[in-house]
Structure 1
């Protein structure tokens, strides 16, 4: 279950129509509903009818349709529900569900709590970033000859280290070193070549900078090697698909970013089918983060990434941005990696070198919708985007509440703000 937290009423109408509700009824229900919109997926039919009846009894608006998950982790007669109502009405529903057993009342409370959930401290080895106070900026450092944007520019280890040092000066909170491009046109390499590329850079930067060094890899062998060299975060674009990856990370105190992917790196999936895009992503990430925790990785060392462009059509990517709040139900900081991607190029009709402004728009919007880390090529520009976006969403300037900051930058005393 998750709170839909729609970007606007039109999005909720679209969801209701997809559930089988007529457009006229969907528009009416959006006008009648207020406060929160919760979705239940794969509810057994008898229980679903009971929920619809009980929620209607307390004044909420309930809509039901055949479940997208029938025959796939749900009974063949299962229904999906979209409920619109106030927090009080949902709390009354949770009380009624407590009598049925099955834990659904807890799911309601968890979903409601996600609307006020805030990320805390993300820990990576000895490093920590308080993502409840500021947005993290992860700088991309590709030590490859064939990455889609900067392939070859930092393939030389010395140039890569120089660029990493510059990123720190520009304000990067994390440096993400990658040695194997996910570009579909990039050559296939093995772990030995990946380690040969990234190892010297990770070792040098870990000794010279005070920020955590991440490595973008889906191979446990590579992860083990770079963690020994000083990396403190593994950014796995396959969501721990290597059977040994979780245990490699869990043996120490490193962090991990678990990404959703449909298919495998370097190729499009055989099918683009999702039962529901966010529902499938959440299920995948929940399973893989549970795997990490069971292997010994603490919750405060995990962040998640919905995987923009990795097995998604452009419309699905755009929908993910709008639906970022739905990912909060998992309770992990959210990383968005959309820098200069083809999705932006297709929307704007621009080559990768001309996608700076599009990237800025995507990152600012993602932060406004609840992202906590942005992964970027253009560190200095995107740090500025992040700082301005923080102000707009109500975070702080250097720890000082906005309501005490004068336009000239000086901080006023608390007494001066009182009537």
Structure 2
């Protein structure tokens, strides 16, 4: 790993002296955040380029919804959705991350130009994933995960969410390293919203320093998630739509940047790109 002004980033990617911004490109018909707006390949590529112009340092391309309760798509369909978008964005100069739990999709995406594999299962969903990433020598996101989206809400049971997430992440990190992934290429993600309720997510955001103590770059993916909706709920506990949570997302981006996160993953880039730059300016003024 290399360090710029106190912030450490994974080997194999560009290095920034501030928290990076990862823009989301959902090539799905059922995303909780955009309702399939970028399901068409041409539109998805156009959107990825727009995110870059808005300030995204990386773009994360996914072809399978991971919203709570979402059914899985088959491998052939996921490949059809993802690979053309990865290829075109990489050819246009984007630093592309592929959001997948399948080793076959990750392999094809890396061949198409993806520079990072973002696996919400942390390598647990597909036993071929860790060996594939190890052989490809690309950075790998290990996220806290307790099971597939279809029933993950049933797994949101903790006595001490921060301690338990840390312990479970350590197990996944150890497995990734034992499987051959170089430690300096591993990124850690607390998995906000995955088998967690609003109180759990807020507790994890409040203890990002403990997550950083795992010794790996930290990715924070709070964008438009339910816990922000809970915070913003009106007097009748009605949650605002996902698209009305971008200001709250930018607030978490600023917090994450101030706590030394390597990157934030967001749907609306401009506000978070501004937020992380302000956080960096404040760091520089201390």
Task: Determine the C-alpha separation between the residues in 2 that align with 1:367 and 1:255.
Answer: 20
Return the index of the structure with the highest Cα Rg: 1
Contact 1:147 1:186 in 2 (8 A): no
Q: Which runs of 4+ in 1 moved over 4 A?
A: none
Q: Could you tell me how far 1:226 is from its partner in structure 2?
A: 1.0
Q: Does 1:376 align with 2:266?
A: yes
Written as runs of structure 1 = structure 2, the 5 A alignment for 1:5-404 is 118-124=6-12, 127-130=13-16, 133-209=17-93, 211-241=94-124, 242-349=126-233, 350-392=240-282, 394-395=283-284, 402=285
Change (3 A) 1:375 1:187: same
Report the Cα distance in structure 2 between the residues aligned to 1:318 and 1:275, rounded to whole angstroms. 15
1:119: Cα distance to partner? 3.7
**Secondary structure of the corresponding residue to residue 291 of structure 1:** helix
The alignment's C-alpha RMSD in Å is 1.8
For normalisation by structure 1, the TM-score amounts to 0.63
Determine the C-alpha separation between the residues in 2 that align with 1:337 and 1:254.
20
- Structure 1 residues 40-90: Cα deviation after superposition (integer angstroms, max 9, x where no partner): xxxxxxxxxxxxxxxxxxxxxxxxxxxxxxxxxxxxxxxxxxxxxxxxxxx
* Alignment partners' CA distance in 1, 2:222 and 2:173: 22
Q: Distance in 2 between matches of 1:268 and 1:120?
A: 31
In structure 2, what is the Cα distance between the partners aligned to 1:255 and 1:165?
A: 22
Give yes or no for contact 1:215–1:223 (8 Å, CA) kept in 2.
yes
Q: Distance in 2 between matches of 1:208 and 1:190?
A: 28
Residue 41 of structure 1 is matched in structure 2 by none
Q: By how many angstroms is 1:313 displaced?
A: 1.6
Alignment partners' CA distance in 1, 2:145 and 2:54? 30
Structure 2 residue runs without a partner (length 5+): 234-239
Residues 301-357 of structure 1: CA deviation (Å, up to 9, x unaligned): 111100101011211111111111011221001111011111111211211121121
TM-score by length of 2: 0.90
Map Cα deviations across residues 238-272 of structure 1 (whole Å, 9 max, x no partner). Answer: 11112111101000221111100233223334343
The Cα of 1:170 is off from its aligned counterpart by 1.5
| Per-residue CA distance 1:388-417 (angstroms, 9 max, x = gap) | 11122x14xxxxxx48xxxxxxxxxxxxxx
Total equivalences in the alignment: 275
| 1:118 shift after superposition | 4.5
Say if 1:160 and 1:201, in contact at 8 Å, map to a contact too: yes
Q: Could you tell me whether the CA contact under 8 Å between 1:215 and 1:231 is conserved in 2?
A: yes
For each residue in 1:72-122, what CA deviation from the matched residue of structure 2 results, as whole angstroms up to 9, or x when unmatched? xxxxxxxxxxxxxxxxxxxxxxxxxxxxxxxxxxxxxxxxxxxxx944232
